[in-house]
Amino acid sequence: MTTGTRLQDKVAIITGAAKGIGAATAHMFVREGAAVGLFDKDSEALKATAEELLKKGARVVALPGDVTSAGDISKFVETVVKELGGVNILVNNAGVTLTRPFVETTVDDVDFLVSVNLKGLMLFSQAAIPHMEKAGGGAIVHDASNAGIVGRPWQPMYGATKAGVVSLTKSMALSLAKQNIRVNCICPGSIDTPMLRGALASSGQFEQNWRRTELVIPLGRIGAANDIAAATLFLASDEAQYITGVALPVDGGRTAGVAEVHHLGLDVS
């Protein structure tokens, strides 16, 4: 059951939609009237999210797949268009992270990050854009990271791929403006997702690392998935019809001016 009309009669594709930010975005879009196409490699979690939305009366297409596979993407987009009627919005949320010192980073690490964070984003955008053109325009929202704005000494190659997303956002916005397709990106900070919790727990010091992370966020808390979903909703909606080419930090003020530090080494005793 919808509670708003900000995306009424819109069809939105969301990648990485099974959990975390992607799932929160799907729920928020449905509440605002959108039909949604959900794509994720985690088939079980994707099915669960789709079932939750269907129970609310949403129009949903959900297919598991790999964002680096042009075949998977083509099949998915064709199914969305056939069953839901087109594509108005694309949220490129799927992404991977890596915490590893620069001197220890391998070629395989780089291939993995670039393949998902940049190649996947490119392939999905290329598949969706023709359908947006047929609809008279649309909105693309990429999920980048504040690591694409400032350096992170513990995630150098991850940050490099997200800086690539920021740059690509601006270039796409310029090249697609005449087609009335707006392109923006969100730059999240530390957000409470399974990905973040796994990273903070990897050293066996989850509680300390959680507190360390909070200490370097000016607003004093780790963000919620809905914080990112709300920003994505705004950029995808007609309320942002004069906004394109923007990289919007949603990070509690972390990139407002204070340099990044390796906070996981902070003494929080």
- For the annotated catalytic residues, the residue numbers are 158
Contact partners, residue 108, CB within 8 Å, separation at least 6: none
Alpha-carbon span 111 to 97, nearest angstrom:
12
Give the residue from 157, 220, 232 showing the smallest Cα distance to 190: 220
Tokens 């291939």 belong to 111
The 10 Å Cβ neighbour count of residue 105 is 17
**Contact present, 170 and 153 (Cβ < 8 Å):** no
User: What is the residue type of 93?
Assistant: N
Helix locations, the chain, DSSP H:
20-31, 43-55, 70-84, 107-114, 121-134, 156-176, 194-201, 206-215, 225-236
For residue 163, give the 3-state DSSP assignment. helix
